[in-house]
């Protein structure tokens, strides 16, 4: 089996973490850099990522996460927060970054800037939020796979009350919304879930070749 498949077979949604085991700073920085390098539409990355280790904050988040133990037991809780709305500044800041990074005069990027604005600025508010959420999930998936490559366990979590997360983390004031959460750490030997066979649709059910 290739490493590509081995990592994906090894990974599972960890239900019980070992609270005594923490991710090293080196591995954390690798995970965050892998996330930063994720693809996003137009490269705009319309989201912000919160890395939480503060025990008190974790305790506050636990009731808003249906009491799930992963929130307090995992080494790190990573919250992906999508921008709930945006204006031309989203594109303008990106274009400025492109200009500086690639040493391209900003004037030479005006056409691309106008194109992006023409596609994004007139979207209804609900469509903007839906689009930014989807972009956050792309980065979320990259982080989960990077963790598997380092043999670091994760549990993707949608079972939480985003409104309460927004209140606890002060996200609404930042024009952000908690979209999805990833618990990151190391599995407990007591987690029986790790021994279960992975259940997925067959290739015949899932794929159609045209």
Buried b (16+ CB within 10 A) or exposed e, 1-14: eeeeeebeeebbeb
Q: Are 183 and 17 in contact (CB under 8 A)?
A: yes
The residue segments making up the domain with residue 69 are: 3-82+128-206
Question: Domain total for the chain?
Answer: 1
* CATH number of the domain encompassing residue 167: 3.40.109.10
Is residue 14 one of the residues assigned to a domain?
yes
pLDDT the model gives residue 2: 83
Is residue 139 a part of any domain in this protein? yes
H/E element holding 34?
helix 25-36
Asked whether residue 202 is assigned to any structural domain, the reply reads yes
- For the chain, list residues with pLDDT below 50: none
Distance CA 73, CA 193 (A): 16
Residue 117, domain member (yes or no)? no
pLDDT in tens, 153-204: 999 999 999 999 999 999 999 999 999 999 999 999 999 999 999 999 999 9
Q: What is the largest CA-CA distance in the chain?
A: 59
With respect to residue 73, please indicate whether it lies within any of the assigned structural domains.
yes
pLDDT given at position 156: 98
> Within a domain: residue 165?
yes
pLDDT computed for residue 1 by the predictor: 57
Tokens standing for residue 123: 């979207």
Residue 92 in tokens:
């303008």
Is 40 a member of any domain?
Answer: yes
Residue 118 lies in a domain: no
Q: CA 207: distance to chain centroid? A: 26
């Amino acid at each position: 089996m290739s490493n590509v498949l081995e990592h994906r077979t090894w990974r599972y949604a960890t239900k019980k973490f070992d609270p005594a085991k923490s991710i090293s700073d080196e591995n954390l920085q690798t995970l965050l850099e892998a996330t930063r390098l994720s693809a996003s539409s137009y490269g705009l990355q319309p989201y912000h990522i919160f890395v939480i280790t503060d025990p008190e904050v974790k305790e506050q988040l636990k009731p808003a996460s249906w009491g799930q133990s992963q929130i307090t037991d995992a080494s790190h809780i990573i919250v992906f927060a999508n921008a709930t709305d945006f204006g031309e500044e989203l594109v303008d800041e990106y274009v400025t970054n492109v200009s500086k990074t690639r040493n391209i005069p900003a004037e030479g990027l005006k056409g691309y800037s106008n194109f992006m604005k023409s596609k994004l600025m007139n979207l209804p508010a609900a469509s903007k939020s839906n689009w930014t959420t989807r972009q956050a999930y792309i980065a979320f998936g990259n982080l989960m796979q990077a963790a598997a490559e380092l043999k670091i366990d994760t549990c993707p979590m949608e079972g939480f009350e985003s409104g309460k997360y927004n209140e606890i983390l002060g996200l609404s004031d930042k024009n952000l919304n908690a979209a999805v959460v990833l618990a990151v750490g190391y599995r407990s030997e007591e987690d029986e879930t790790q021994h279960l066979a992975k259940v997925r649709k067959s290739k015949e059910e899932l794929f159609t070749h045209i």
